[in-house]
Amino acid sequence: PGILPQGNDNLKMNGAGFDNLIDDLIKEWDNMDTGSYSNQQNQQHYHAPSDVPTHSRSKSSTSNHSNSNYNNNNQVRMNICGYCNHTIDSSPMWALGRTWHPEHLLCAQCEKPIDPNIGHVERNNKIYCPSDFADLFLPKCRSCGLPVEREAVSASDGKLEGKWHVNCFGCHTCHKPFPDRSFYVFENAPYCKRHYHELNNSLCRNCDEPIE
């Protein structure tokens, strides 16, 4: 039987282990200006033009003039919507290194405006709402079929393909968890002792107990 690791450790014993799926994607997110999800603890990564850093003043009048022109041009660029190229009068949203009208920052999948209270995810120079990003790019739990976003159960020896939510990992027949943290693998699925032997026709005909 396989052994389910204890707690949140990265133990991998006989093929089962916990891992963090977000870590699989964070390398891509780290290269984005918004830092993956644009909303972290209600601190949106949507910056108003006033958030753009300005250069320090120089002693040279010529340099001051140059910096002033740079800042003015940069300020104008930051006030232009990345979708319609029109001026943004108030409440700009920030994504893909540009500012946007709130109604013009759209999810590439559902084409609905991004909710500033939820944020967005950037991938391959496209913008996604978190829900569509999860549906498109995160692995699905083999039990419930929903995206696995955080901690998961997976196998390192190839006997179990796919991933499960921690709370979904159980016998493929009765769906009960494994209280003793051990399980059996049959045709790429986890089973409790009883149903594993039932599938293998290894139950005693007299006592109906597994033969091992």
DSSP string over 108-166: TTT-PBPPTTT--EEETTEEE-HHHHHHHHSPBBTTT-SB--SEEEE-SSSSS-SBEEG
Q: Closest Cα partner for 37 from 102, 111, 99, 95? A: 95
Domain boundary residue among 137, 156, 178? 137
Residue positions counted in the chain: 212
φ, ψ for residue 153, nearest 5 deg: -105, 130
End of a domain among 137, 156, 189? 137
Total domains present in the chain: 2
Output 71 or 13, whichever has higher pLDDT: 71
Confidence of residue 107 (pLDDT cuts 50, 70, 90): very high
Q: Which two tokens stand for residue 18?
A: 């916990």
More confident residue, 47 or 138: 138
- Please tell me the predicted confidence (pLDDT) of residue 27: 43
Verify that 51 and 130 share a domain, yes or no: yes
Q: Is 0.85 topped by the overall pTM?
A: no
- Angstrom CA distances, 79 to 50, 75, 95, 142, 187, stand at 10, 6, 13, 46, 58
Q: What is the pLDDT of residue 112?
A: 92
User: What is the C-alpha to C-alpha distance for residues 79 and 58, in angstroms, rounded to an integer?
Assistant: 25
Q: Cα–Cα distance between 96 and 92 in angstroms, integer? A: 13
Same domain, 94 and 10: no
Q: pLDDT, tens digit, for every residue of 15-32? A: 333 344 444 444 444 444
Q: Is residue 180 part of a domain?
A: yes
Parallel, antiparallel, or unpaired for β 182-186 and 2-3? Answer: antiparallel
What is the domain-level CATH number for residue 191? 2.10.110
Residue 208 lies in a domain: no
By the 10 Å C-beta count (0-12 exposed, 13-18 middle, 19+ buried), 202 is classed as exposed
- To the nearest whole percent, how much of the chain has pLDDT over 70? 63
Q: Give the C-alpha separation, 71 to 66, whole Å.
A: 9
Q: CA nearest 92: which of 76, 111, 107?
A: 76
**Residue 139 clears pLDDT 70, i.e. is over it:** yes
Band (pLDDT 50/70/90 cuts) for residue 78 is low
CB-based burial, 81-104: b 16+ in 10 Å, e otherwise: bbeeeeebeeebbbbbebbbbbeb
Domain extent at residue 100: 24-137
- 12 and 28 share one domain: no
Same domain membership, residue 146 and residue 133: no
User: pLDDT digits over 166-185, tens only?
Assistant: 888 989 899 898 887 788 88
Count CB atoms within 10 A of the CB of residue 138: 18
Indicate whether 161 pLDDT > 70. yes
